[in-house]
Structure 1
Amino acid sequence: MKSSILVVLLGFVASTYAAALTLQSPKFTVSSPNGEQKRSEPISFTKKPSPVQLGPQDVLRISFQITEKENGAGVQPHQAFLRFYDDISGEDGVQPIRVATSGKAKFELNMARPPRSLPPTSPDSTLKVSLIVGSFVHTPLTVDLFDLIVPASQPVAPHPEEVRYHPQPAIEHTFRPEQKTPPAFISAVFSVLVLAPWVVLVGLWSQLSPKVPHLFSPKIVPFTATLGAFEVLLFLYWLDLKLGQVLLYGAGLGIVAVLTGKTALVQVGKLRKGSI
């Protein structure tokens, strides 16, 4: 069983290797727009023809048949295309070719309407034209056909928005100078002004010295704590809070200050009457 499988595999490999491809009757023709034939020659595998030159309106036609080298039977390969290669610029392009089931194929290049596969050319460009054939069951075939000289490509029309993609001037940022801190004397003066209300409050407390223990009663401490909360709120505003947040929180503290302050004033009044 193993020997029979080996024989089949060897036979398949041998048949695949033997199934080489070749071209039958390859030729090219150059004609003018009015149909006048300028040049017509067969393509030889042993001697490359002289370069083929096309004018702006000329038409190049190539015809051939792909066959098996052994028995001459026509073959429709998996793929076949012409390659145009400019060895000066390194640009190339490929043009697929439709091959019939009999292996016959034709290609036409009209310079009045050149295909997109034709690479851009300069006045000194010479395109090397080759045929590349690929098949699943045959050995690939590559044939150098001839050198082709075509008119130089026209410059590409600039796109209307091309200028938007040109290098733009560098963006330069101008930063404001660093914030200057006020002199120490000015800072000290404003610190005293901020703490002045507390000095006044301590002075008022001193007038109630006979009743100082009553200052820590539940009716007075909430008002004092509310005043301290105002100071903390202003300090946080200086650090991180926004003005809207300060106004919102300050409005809440103001309502609490009014309520606790009214109670504290009543209590202070009672203390002053008791001390008289």
Structure 2
Amino acid sequence: MNKYIKIVLAFLSFGALCATTEASIGGYISASDKKKFLSTLVKSFTIELDDISKSYYAAKGYKILNEVVPKAYITEQCAHIKQHYKATANVEVLFNALNTWSLLGCDGKLHTDDTIASINSLLQNEKSTTADIRYATEILTQLKLQIPNPAKVAQLIQAKLKEDDSLASIGQALHAASLLGNAGKFAHDRIEDVIVQADEIDGKLLQWEGGLTVTSLLITGLLRLPGATPFTQVQADKFANYLLTRKTVQTPKGILSLLEAAVALAGSSVSPVSISIIGSSQVPQDKPELRIQVSDVFGQPLKPVPSPVIAQSATRISDDVVVLAKQPLISGKTSTEFVLTLDKLDPGYYRVAINAGSHSATITARILGLLTINSLEIGLTDADGSSAPKLSKLSYPTKLDSALKADSSQHLLVKFSISRPVHQAFLRLSSGKKEIVFLAVPDSNKGYKVEVNVASQLAYTGNFDMELILGDSIITNPIRWTLGVIDVNLGPSDSPAPRSLRGPKPEIKHLFRPAEKRPPEPVSLFFSGLTAAPLLVLLILWAKLGINFGNFTGVAIPFHLGFGSILGLFTLFWLKLDMFKTCALLIPLGMITFLAGHRLLSSIAARQKKTEKADK
């Protein structure tokens, strides 16, 4: 009774804790992800004509990943940027070039007085876009220069947002407003409206329309606003989950967008917490330690480290029984690693709920164990059950001293018991290249049994090697045990010579049904005359009544030609055409005749109405 009370209390405490905890993210940007990012980012260092903009993605990406740019790239890029730098270039190009110059530590000063004048003019030009204003303020801030008249710049941004309030435009405005001091506080009024426009996917992800670039632009812009706390912990986790789904991005610009958004979230007050398994989720029973990592989105230690880190519960998936509750995890080799000891659990699949401070995650672990064979009996029984079976006991891995002699009146019986149930339990009989596999089924005594009807389930006479195969996804020692040999004698009539599976196949002969006897020629001609009789009657009536050509008009010509063509087609079908060719020709002829007939009837009806009016 105490056992059930503990289980109920564990469920209640887990439910109460779930009401006060936040879900965590299930992954992070790992070392292998960073290596893949670097292999793509380095492509941006390739020199292409006078392009001095794209190398910014690589320089900034290397900076975020704390990697050192090779000196050869630094020398090459600095020389290239200096050669092609123009103060009158597009403001985004200037922003990228100046940032690359700074990130690579190039010698000397790149910007000129003309650069500053060009930037200041953009901040006063009513034709400037929000992107122009954002990059201009970024450049001045980077060069440690004062932004002229921040209040006026703020007014210009708000005017531009009235013209273009797209998400991309708002994102650029947020970045610019974050650099204007008190004048940029107007951007706080936009926070709620922007977040409401985020799209939720499956209740787990949040993103904005426009994909990774726009989502990153808005995340970084919102988190840059001084004094703003735009996201709740749940929203931050969902945005982080979205970013983790985009780790497959393969463009330098996309990678930089991903990294910038991840850095912004990791450095915020609602930094997402990653609770994930280190290495494999398979736990061997001889060393039952499940290693858990609690970190930020980059796999780095959290400040402060969430505490306490406990396994709130562990549930066996096969029967939903809670087998562990509120077990603390011990610290591992690093500040992000924690170890959960599962030495008291039987092999199987378990759903483990981990809590790290106010964050929680559910992970699936598989505990592996050894399989032992407790007993095995093998022998032959009479098919009619007239006598008791003669079974021999074997211990693993021994086999029968002599072959079993079986005939068509007997059954082969194998009974065994093992330390735990398995998903795969087979008896394999093989002879040369042929094999027959029988499924072992659980019996009433919690063991397994295989019974083979020698007469009906074995194909031919011969010697068969017997092998017991046991396997499961939760055992570390799958077993293949050779039990011995069975000599099957089914008699000469039941042992057909084996047929070769190779070589030419026997010829397939097919006899078509002979043609049916046709009727005599006079009979055929008689019925042909009957089918032509209506046409003959029509000609006779025309001869007696006469044909009225007075009402014939040019409108009737297409109809009569079409109708005549259909009659001619039927004649050809009768003589030599098949059904498919006839239908293919009949469809266009029928459509033309239908349209021509409709027009003819319309003209006749119009002429009749005209005649009736004239008579009145």
TM over 0.5: no
Q: Which one has more relative contact order, counting CA pairs under 8 Å at least 6 apart?
A: 1
Greater Rg by CA: 1
Q: Please, what TM-score do these two structures have when normalized by structure 2?
A: 0.21
